[in-house]
């Protein structure tokens, strides 16, 4: 009994040591009777800014009822904890996924999450006009879509959440697939083979183009920090180089952090003298999210 009490006390002390608390399973929308969920990391000392975090998953999720949740996997926890410790209120999300759902479902879901967060900004004590987004791999693709889409709400929608903008004001994207026509394999997400370059009038070409963040870049896009390992064999480093080039051409603030020797993954496996990538993410938001 004494041992059980000691273990219990230790668990409480460890939990109390965290500089944030986690509110789990907040419903941010419903799709055909199925709840879309997010977890909220409430910092002990909030700085008044919110960030949506989207974990990488290859846009996929297991079909089993007991499948682990995207929003609470180790990647989500690693990045959300770093942000919450720095004072940001973090919203880690689940989204519809392959094989049951395909594009544009994941994009629509993360847009819905931003609209929900913005609509309830007072509840979460954040600035509704300054919301950031961070994600890796497929999550990097989705947050890049949030940054490059205009995200305009539907003014006459009966759901007040849908009237809100889904545009974010700062983005950090790790190893993000950004152009399905030039390099990244979007076949699984899009449900079709990549069209030939000369098939520009085909429906397939239009879908691949629409799903690519580089297609939507405009001068009013928010600051982007791109982080990518130069030995990544799953999402080519050239994808981030292309994104950097096109954002610069549009006059958008952008920085590409090249991680030498790093392969694909949230901790940049194989990196040679890896930088403090979590710290650089936090500092990017510190500098650019609060900038009016």
10 domain residue, yes or no = no
Q: What is the pLDDT of residue 18?
A: 87
Residue-level pLDDT at 256: 98
The SS3 assignment for 199 reads: coil
| pLDDT at residue number 166 | 98
Question: Does any domain span residue 45?
Answer: yes
Residue 5 lies in a domain: no
Let me know the angle formed at the C-alpha of 287 by 284 and 290, rounded to the nearest 5 degrees. 115
Task: Please report, for residues 56, 122, 147, 185, the alpha-carbon distance to residue 190 in angstroms, rounded to integers and kept in the order given.
Answer: 17, 37, 20, 9
CATH number, domain with residue 146: 3.40.50.1820
Judge whether 142 and 135 are in contact, CB under 8 Å: yes
Q: What is the spatial distance between Cα 163 and Cα 156, in angstroms, rounded to a whole number?
A: 7
d(C-alpha 107, C-alpha 1), whole Å: 51
DSSP conformational letter for 70? G
Q: What is the pLDDT of residue 16?
A: 53
User: Please, which residues have CB within 8 angstroms of residue 250's CB and are 6 or more apart in sequence?
Assistant: 217, 218, 219, 221
* 10-residue averages of pLDDT along the chain (292 residues): 40 60 98 97 97 97 96 97 98 97 98 98 98 98 98 97 98 98 88 92 96 98 98 97 98 98 98 96 95 61
Report helix, strand or coil for 26.
strand
- Predicted pLDDT of residue 156: 96
Helix 277-288 / helix 74-85 crossing angle, nearest 10 deg = 50
Question: Which is nearest to 104 in space by CA: 53, 31, 48?
Answer: 31
Indicate the burial class of 32 (C-beta count within 10 angstroms; 0-12, 13-18, 19 or more). exposed
β-partners of residue 170 are 132
Provide the domain count of the chain: 1
Separation between Cα atoms, residue 51 and residue 115, nearest integer Å = 12
Short-list 224, 2, 234, 14, CA closest to 132: 224
How much is the pLDDT for 185? 82
**What strands lie across the sheet with 89-93, from one edge to the other?**
20-31, 34-43, 89-93, 50-54, 131-136, 170-174, 224-229, 254-259
Q: Would you state the pLDDT for residue 267?
A: 97
Tell me whether residue 14 is in a domain.
no
Containing structural domain, residue 152: 22-288
Residue 61 lies in a domain: yes
138 lies in some domain: yes
**Reported pTM:** 0.93
In angstroms, what CA-CA distances link 230 with 106, 116, 138, 214? 27, 36, 17, 20
Token look-up 């409430």 returns 42
């Amino acid at each position: 009994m004494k041992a059980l009490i000691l273990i219990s006390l230790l668990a409480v002390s460890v939990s109390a040591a965290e500089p944030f608390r986690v509110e789990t399973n907040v419903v941010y929308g419903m799709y055909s009777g199925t709840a879309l969920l997010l977890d909220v990391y409430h910092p002990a000392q909030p700085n008044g800014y919110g960030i949506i975090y989207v974990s990488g998953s290859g846009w996929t999720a297991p079909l089993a009822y007991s499948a682990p949740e995207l929003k609470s996997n180790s990647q989500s926890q690693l990045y959300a904890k770093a942000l919450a410790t720095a004072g940001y209120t973090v919203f880690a999300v689940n989204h519809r996924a392959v094989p049951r759902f395909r594009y544009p479902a994941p994009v629509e879901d993360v847009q819905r999450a931003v609209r929900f967060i913005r609509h309830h900004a007072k509840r979460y004590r954040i600035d509704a006009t300054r919301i950031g987004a961070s994600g890796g791999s497929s999550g990097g693709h989705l947050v890049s879509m949030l940054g490059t889409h205009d995200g305009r709400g539907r003014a006459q929608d009966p759901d007040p959440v849908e009237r809100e903008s889904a545009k974010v004001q700062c983005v950090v994207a790790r190893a993000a697939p950004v152009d399905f026509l030039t390099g990244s394999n979007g076949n699984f997400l899009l449900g079709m083979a990549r069209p030939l370059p000369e098939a520009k009038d085909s429906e397939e070409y239009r879908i691949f183009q629409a799903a690519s963040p580089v297609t939507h870049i405009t001068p009013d896009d928010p600051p982007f920090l791109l982080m990518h390992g130069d030995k990544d064999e799953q999402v080519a480093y050239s994808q981030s180089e292309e994104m950097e080039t096109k954002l610069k051409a549009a006059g958008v603030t952008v920085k590409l952090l090249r991680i030498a020797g790093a392969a694909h993954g949230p901790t940049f496996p194989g990196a040679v003298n890896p930088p403090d990538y979590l710290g650089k993410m936090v500092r990017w938001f510190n500098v650019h999210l609060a900038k009016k």
